[in-house]
A and B are shown apart, each in its own frame.
Chain A
Amino acid sequence: MDILSQEITIILVGSFFFLLVAVGIIVLLLIYQKRQLQFILEKQELSNQFQKELLTTRLEAQEETLNQLSREMHDNVGQLLSSAKLLIGVTRRALAAPMEELQLAEETVSKAITELRSMSKSLSRDWLEKFNFIENLNAEADRINASRELEMTIQHPEVIHLPSERQLVLFRIVQEAFQNSLKHGKAEQIKIAVAQSDGQVHVVIEDNGMGFNVADTSRLGVGMINIKNRAQLLGGSAQWQSSGSGTSVTVRIPTLELIA
């Protein structure tokens, strides 16, 4: 009986040991997987951060290029056109019987100067930052409508609550979208609707152009990529819908308060 008791004790101790081993393996597995998962998430986070920084740098470079272009247009081309206008004026006044064409030339150059200045303003970051998104959008619509190539209508609230640097990026998105409508879609009408709800700013840019195949990602243009990148940078999204009778881009940007 003593031997049997000893054997039973050995069995109990052995079973307990095996049970501990099983529990140990399970706990170790859980801890190891948790650490692995944490490592993967940290790696992913770093990669996302890197992508975001890369995107910011690229967009800043683009913004700087636009700024320089705006300065060049204003300071060099603008000055040359002003000189040309001055010379035409002087010549016209110096002549006893000035030709009608000279006055027409002076008016055309004058128009070109006005157009160039407004275009220069719409490209200049320093200028745009003086106004809010709605004011810039209205100015852009006035500029576009003045050219009579395109009819642009805007629906918007009084104000949108978005920090100024985000408003500028959103304005660039809209600029890029209607440039696309103009260049690729050959649109004649563009409707822009701005709204703010649920901590998001929604902008829908709709045109009556010839449309394109949204599913064909291989033909994603630089303009569309820029729109996507900018929206992504603001933690938002951009979606396209297109048919033979036009294209609409819906941009959703969260307000900063929501992200924080």
Chain B
Amino acid sequence: MLKVFRGPNIFVYNIMYVFNALALGQYFYSLLIGNKKRRMVILLVTVPLIYYIINNVVFGGEEVFDSLGYVFSSIAIVIMIFVFFSQILANVSEERLSMNFNFWYVASQLIYQLGAFIVFLTFNYLTKKILTADYSRENRAVLTKLWGLHNVLLFLSALLTIFGVIWISFHKKSRSS
């Protein structure tokens, strides 16, 4: 028999930004060329990690969405994305950018991280406001819709990655035939 977990699932959300930052940090570490850029990636990934340890491990954390952690993680990822883009512009290769999978994936991450930035930034504030002021069905629906916007952005970013994969394989096939 499967046991259904009925406790608060907020810890999953709150650990997600750390995993996100670590995984993308590893990805950008392999993508960026030069020790200076790689040291910067390590530094950027360290910020949300340290914040998480201090906020959740040392101080126990809150049982609400951790906006600050997500904001740190988003800023770190967006900076890494811009560094990657500057690397692309500095080293123009003969290959078209649209034929580079990394470009599509990083572009989709930019759409998600930048598009959902304000949702991340305000979600903690709005949750607390509704919890303390008026915990009505309508207000909770507003929160759900706001998180829905985040989900749409995540879906859009996934679509962009898939589009990139299809675009590359289509052009490779038409070039070879």
Binding site for B on A (CB under 8 A): 1, 4-5, 7-8, 11-12, 14-15, 18-19, 21-23, 25-26, 29-30, 32-34, 36-37, 40-41
**CB <8 Å contact, B149 and A12:** yes
Q: Of residues A1, A15, A23, A32, which shows the largest number of chain B Cβ atoms within 10 Å of its Cβ?
A: A15
What 4 A-B pairs have minimum CB-CB distances, sorted nearest first? A19-B115, A22-B114, A14-B118, A33-B97
In the bound complex, residues from chain A placing their C-beta under 8 Å from that of B107 are 26, 29
Residue of B nearest to A18 (CB): B114
Closest A residue by C-beta to B160: A26
> Which residue on chain A has the smallest CB distance to residue B82?
A25
Instruction: Count contacts on B: residues with CB < 8 A to the other chain.
Output: 29
A4-B129, A14-B118, A18-B117 are known contacts. Are A33 and B88 too (CB-CB below 8 A)? Answer: yes
Which residues of B lie under 8 Å from residue A30 when comparing CB positions? 97-98
Q: Which applies to chain B's interface (DSSP): helix, strand, loop or mixed?
A: helix
| Shortest distance from the beta carbon of B123 to any chain A beta carbon, whole Å | 9
**CB of A31, distance to nearest CB on chain B (Å):** 10
Supposing A11-B119, A30-B97 touch, asked if A4 and B139 sit within 8 A by C-beta, the answer is yes
Judging by beta carbons under 8 Å apart, are B89 and A37 in contact?
no
List B contacts of A14 (CB < 8 A): 118
A1 and B141 CA atoms in complex are apart in Å by: 13
Are A18's CB and B115's CB within 8 A?
Answer: yes
Partner of A29, one of B89, B115, B122: B89
User: Can you pick out 18 interface pairs between chain A and chain B where the beta carbons lie within 8 Å of each other?
Assistant: A4-B129, A4-B139, A8-B142, A11-B146, A12-B149, A15-B117, A15-B119, A18-B114, A22-B114, A26-B107, A29-B85, A29-B97, A30-B97, A32-B89, A33-B89, A33-B96, A33-B97, A36-B92
Question: What residue of chain B has the Cβ atom nearest to residue A23's Cβ?
Answer: B111
Identify the closest chain A residue to B104 (Cβ): A26
Query: Whole-angstrom distance from the CB of B175 to the nearest CB of chain A?
Result: 16
Contacts of A25 in B (CB 8 A): 85, 110
**Structural contact, B149 and A34, CB atoms closer than 8 A:** no
Partner of B142, one of A4, A29, A37: A4
Q: Is the CB of B114 within 8 A of A21?
A: yes
Q: Which residues of A contact B158 (CB under 8 A)?
A: none
- State in angstroms the CA–CA spacing of A223 and B38 once bound together: 51
Q: What distance in Å separates the Cβ of B101 from its nearest Cβ neighbour in chain A?
A: 15
B94 within 8 A of A: yes
Cβ distance B131 to chain A, nearest Cβ, rounded Å: 13
Docked pose: A30 CA to B103 CA in angstroms: 10
A215 CA to B133 CA, complexed, in Å:
83
Contact assessment for A33 and B149 in the assembled complex, using a CB-CB cutoff below 8 Å: no
CB distance from B112 to the nearest CB of A (A): 9
Distance in angstroms between the alpha carbons of A36 and B153 in the assembled complex: 31
Q: How far is the CA of A11 from the CA of B145 in the complex (A)?
A: 12
A1-B134, A19-B115, A33-B92 given as contacts; is B97 within 8 A of A7 (CB)?
no
CB-defined contacts of A15 to chain B, threshold 8 Å: 115-119, 149, 153
Q: Are A8 and B92 in contact (CB under 8 A)?
A: no
User: How far apart sit A235 and B88, CA to CA, in the bound complex (Å)?
Assistant: 33
B126 interface residue, CB < 8 Å from A? yes
Tell me which residues from 62 to 105 in chain B have a Cβ below 8 Å from any Cβ of chain A. Answer: 85, 88-89, 92, 94, 96-98, 103
Q: Within the assembled complex, what's the spacing in Å between the Cα atoms of A22 and B82?
A: 11
A14, chain B: closest CB distance, angstroms: 4
Tell me how far the C-beta of B167 lies from the nearest C-beta in chain A, rounded to whole angstroms.
12
Q: A15-B115, A22-B115 are in contact. List 12 more A-B contacts (CB 8 A).
A: A7-B122, A15-B149, A18-B115, A19-B114, A26-B107, A26-B110, A29-B107, A33-B92, A34-B96, A34-B97, A37-B96, A40-B92
Cα-based distance from A23 to B88 in the complex (angstroms) = 17
Q: How far is the CA of A14 from the CA of B107 in the complex (A)?
A: 19
Q: Tell me, rounded to whole Å, the shortest Cβ–Cβ distance linking B177 to chain A.
A: 19
Whole-angstrom CA separation of A21 from B126 in the bound complex = 25
Chain B hits for A5, CB < 8 A:
142
Chain A CB within 10 Å — which of B94, B114, B119, B139 has the most?
B114
Q: Is the CB of B92 within 8 A of A37?
A: yes
Quick one: which of B119-172 are within 8 Å of A by CB? 119, 122, 126, 129-130, 134, 138-139, 142, 146, 149, 153
